């Protein structure tokens, strides 16, 4: 009997994985030099649905040799998940272009 390989099917956004764990989401490949971390700090109700209101966006280095405090390269707060993903995507693409 052939052993099945487990495949993780992540939500992809612009060719990179978007993974959520509670109020924190990670965008990007963990084997690349940087990823974007999104932390939802508050929510609001819109037409009966709860949506993210305030989101902290961080561009974080994945280098394990750097102290956790020094891994944060950029940080901002945005209203709404769309605005947070917009700035996070720009930061990520620029940082990856520089490291290439």
Domain count, the chain: 1
Provide the token pair at 1.
Answer: 């009997």
Quote the CA–CA distance of 54 and 81 in Å, as a whole number: 8
Domain containing 61 equals: 14-99
Residue 5 lies in a domain: no
Residue 38 lies in a domain: yes
Residue 41 lies in a domain: yes
Give per-residue pLDDT as tens, 27-62. 999 999 999 999 999 999 999 999 999 999 999 999
Residue 49 lies in a domain: yes
The number of CA neighbours under 13 Å toward the Cβ of 41 is: 10
Largest CA distance in the chain: 52
Give per-residue pLDDT as tens, 58-97. 999 999 999 989 999 999 999 999 999 999 999 999 999 9
| Predicted TM-score (pTM) of this structure | 0.85
């Amino acid at each position: 009997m052939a052993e099945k390989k487990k495949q993780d099917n992540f939500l992809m956004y612009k060719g990179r994985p978007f993974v959520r764990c509670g109020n924190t989401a990670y965008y990007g490949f963990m084997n690349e030099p940087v990823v974007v971390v999104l932390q939802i700090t508050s929510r609001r109700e819109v037409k009966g649905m709860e949506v993210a209101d305030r989101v902290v966006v961080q561009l974080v280095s994945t280098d394990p040799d750097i102290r956790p405090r020094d891994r944060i390269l950029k940080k901002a707060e945005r209203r709404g998940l769309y605005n947070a993903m917009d700035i996070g995507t720009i930061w990520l693409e620029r940082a990856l272009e520089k490291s290439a």
